[in-house]
Structure formats: structure tokens, C-alpha cells
Amino acid sequence: MHPSSSSWIKVRSRVAVAALALATVAAGATALLAPAPPASAEATAQTAAAALPNGFRSVGYMPSWSGDVNAIQFSKLTHINYAFALPNSNGTLQGIENTSKLSSLVSQGHNNGVKVSLAIGGWNDGNDSAFEALAGNSSSRTTFVNSVMSVVNQYNLDGIDIDWEYPDPGTSGNNYTALMQQLSNALHGSGKLLTAAVVSEGGTADGVQPAVFGYVDWLNIMAYDGGSPHANYDWSIAAANFWKNRGLPKAKTVLGVPFYSRPGYLTYSQIVALNPNNANVDCVNANGAQQCYNGIPTIKRKTQWAVANAGGIMNWELSQDTTGSTSLVSAIFDAAGGTGTPPTGGKTGPIKGIAGKCVDVAGANSANGTAVQLWTCNATSAQTWTVGSDNTIRALGKCMDITAAGTANGTKVQLYDCNGTGAQTWQAQSNGTLRNPASGRCLDATGPSSADGTRLQIWDCFGSGNQLWTLPA
């Protein structure tokens, strides 16, 4: 579970929530899924997220009740989940706490190429009755999906993290699967993420049926609040392997690590404040008891395992970290082989081609595989490209990519996670073309055409008008 603490209990027994009216479709209505609005023309261009190998994810939770958005090390993270919103039994959502903080998190995250999702649920003092009720009724499920899509669009979120603690095997598990399938259809249909937090192993784990693995982008495995000592390496790796052995793909396995101790609840930052050397061990005596947590060596060891055997590392939670040399977020980044945001050369802006049309990400959709096309210039983030000194071309935190690393004439160009391969390398030539060295071919507007929606592809380099590009100055 996402752990309880005095601040957590206080927050969950709140007497007031932020004033927010969530527009939902009446119970039983068909889900009408409006696409997310395009980013405003004034939006700051997004830069690349943390440069981690092979799409490796570094996911952090940020609670509504604790932590400063300005203190987040965005350059060392790929995803942040804002915790928590609570569901009602009829499928609507309760008001989100601290909406100004959420808006700031989304803005700063997007400016740094970091995706921000809303986590729904949480420990909530062990009360999952609202999830039980809404998931068991098809009308309430539809209302919930529409509530989710409404808040995603309202706050320009990148996705949703479902934190139902916990669906039991049997009827609840069946209802959980139905809910996740419906959410997957809605969110993925709009290019948004769907993830879920799950128990480490055993017990209620069977309430998350293997069918769910196909509906989520990944699972955040809460490998903490167990083991002796707390969240030790062997116990945590066993938890991740438990899910992999049930059929969860490697790429969808994200191992959770704690930024706090057990059996008490001291944050990692409190522990390090007692003695900086505590950053390098896993157990200390404090508050009259032995407190166990994950110090830097264990965090790095888990991360190295995850790089080889999983899809990422998740932490609970960011406000409990330190800064500087003792930071666990930094330890994860370093152990994963992070290189920081690749150099950009300071060249960010539109790329213009034939007839003055702009290179555009279709629908401002940052999902992998989204078409790269020509479109009338509109100064949105979908047309804001960073031409890096590493020969990448980036927008919306991802790279311009040749589909399946193809080299044949006509292979389409798409948006995809930056991975440092030859399919994402573009060299500006003196004649105005953009050449991909791996294929020996040039970026080309299909046709040739200048119509809105014209797909970009690679083709033999001729230097014709549909292969000439004006890069940001």
C-alpha cells in the first residue's frame, strides 16, 4: 500500500477539499471522449525528459499535502503521479486538493519533458468501498471514465494511475478488470497513459488478473511495507519477479522503492538529517527503535537490477528525498546510466518545409507512434522542435523517429521515446535537407504535397522542395 503516516491520516480525514466541480456524464450515459485541447501558443517549449537508457522510467509520486514543486529534480525523472484524488461510489470524483499545486506540477513537468498523471485512490485508511461500488456497476463505471477524462482534459494531464487498495480475488477482481478495460479504451484512445499501483505479492494480488496487463502501460509495484529488514533487496526483487512470473511483461514492470523507514515512519530526509552517513546504510537506531529503509547503495543496486530486468523504478515519495549528494532520485538516475538532458544547442522553435507549412505532431499527441506531418503553422507545442547538438529532433519530450528503424524509401516518420538509435539521428545538410545517416535518406514530405496532414517519410535525397527544411534559428 502507499503508506500511512500522521500527515497522511490527517489528509485523508480532511474537512474541506479544493473547490472543483468535475463535469461528469449522467450515470448510464455513453462515454463521450473529447480530445485533449492543444497546448496554448504561449506554452514554453518542452525539452527532453531525463535521458535514461532504453525507455527506462523513473516515476515519482508527489502528494497534494506535502512537498514543494520547485524542489523537484525534473531533469532526473520521466513521470510524476500527483496523489491523490478519491472516487465516489457513483463514479464521480471528489474535489482535488491543492489544484494550484497540480497546475504548477503539470506546467513545470511539461516544460521539462516530464509526464504528469493523477493518482486516484490510495490507502484511504483501508476504505476501498467507493471503488468496490463503482466498479461493480456498469453505469457507474461509465460515469467514472467520463469523470476521469474530464479531469485529464481540464488539467492537461498525461494520464491516470489507478491506486485501488485492493481488489480482492473473485468478483472484485472481475470488476477491476472491467474497469481497467474501459479506462484503457478511453485513455489510450486519447493518447493518454493508464498505470496502476499494485501490492508487492500474494494475498490480494490475485485480484489483479493477468488480463489487466494488456490494458495498462505499466504497473507500479509497491515493494515496500514488507520484508525484514524493511524493503530489503531480495524481498523487493522477489516481489517484482512475482508479477513477471504471472505474465507481466518486463517493460511494464516498474519496481517501487520507499523513501521512508519502517517500523516507524521517518522520511529519508529526516534520517539523513540525523547523520549524513545514514545515506549509505539501510538501518539506524532512531526514536527508540531500529528504523530500516533503503540507503543509496541499496537504491542503486535495485535500479541496476531494474535496468536489466524491468521497465523502471518508482518511488514513494518525492517530498521525502534530500538534495545534493545524498538524494535518492539522483542515485536512481545515476545507477540507471542517466546522462542528463541531452545538449540542445539552444535551437528551439518551428521547422518549416514546403509552402511554409510546419512540421507537426498529429493531434499534439505525445504517444509513441504518433504521425509526424505537415500542418499550417500555429505556434503550438506540437510544432515546437528542439534540434539537438546530438542530432536528435525533439518535441513533446520525445524524438522524431523512423518507424521500426526502417531504411526503405517511403518509411514513415513518427514520434517515439528517445533511445539514442540511428533511427532518431538527423543531420542538417548545407543544401537545406535533413539526412538520416543510418538509411542514407532524407526527410521528405510525401507526394510531394503541402496539404495539411501530409505524412513525413524518408526518401532518396534529391534536394527538391519537399525535402528542404528551415530549422529554428
Could you tell me the CATH number of the domain that includes residue 369?
2.80.10.50
Mean pLDDT of 128-132: 97
Residue 54 pLDDT level (bands cut at 50, 70, 90): low
Per residue in 159-205, pLDDT tens? 999 999 999 999 999 999 999 999 999 999 999 999 999 999 887 89
Do 388 and 286 have their domain in common? Answer: no
Do 281 and 362 have their domain in common? Answer: no
Q: How far apart are CA 91 and CA 136, in angstroms?
A: 11
In this predicted structure, what is the pLDDT of residue 1? Answer: 59
Do 259 and 157 have their domain in common? Answer: yes
Least confident among 15-19, 59-63, 71-75: 15-19
Do 352 and 429 have their domain in common? Answer: yes
Report if residue 340 sits inside a domain: no
Pairing state of beta strands 456-459 and 441-445? antiparallel
Do 252 and 158 have their domain in common? Answer: yes
Could you tell me the CATH number of the domain that includes residue 71?
3.20.20.80
Q: Are 456 and 444 in contact (CB under 8 A)?
A: yes
Least confident among 76-90, 262-276, 338-352, 366-380: 338-352
Q: How far apart are CA 175 and CA 410, in angstroms?
A: 45
Q: Is the pLDDT of residue 27 over 80?
A: no
- Output the pTM of the full model: 0.67
Q: Which helix (H) or strand (E) holds 119?
A: strand 115-121
What range does the domain containing 383 cover?
A: 348-467
Per residue in 352-386, pLDDT tens? 999 999 999 999 888 889 999 999 999 888 898 98
Do 33 and 136 have their domain in common? Answer: yes
Do 330 and 390 have their domain in common? Answer: no
Does a cis peptide bond (omega within 30 degrees of 0) precede residue 61?
Answer: no
Do 299 and 403 have their domain in common? Answer: no
Mean pLDDT of 382-394: 87
Mean pLDDT of 438-457: 96
Q: What is the average pLDDT value for the chain, to the nearest integer? A: 88
Number of structural domains the chain divides into? 2
Mean pLDDT of 39-67: 68
CA distances from 34 to 121, 145, 154, 186, 256 (A): 24, 12, 11, 10, 33
DSSP reduced 3-state for 138: helix
Do 261 and 405 have their domain in common? Answer: no
Do 324 and 369 have their domain in common? Answer: no
Do 432 and 375 have their domain in common? Answer: yes
Report if residue 342 sits inside a domain: no
Mean pLDDT of 142-162: 99
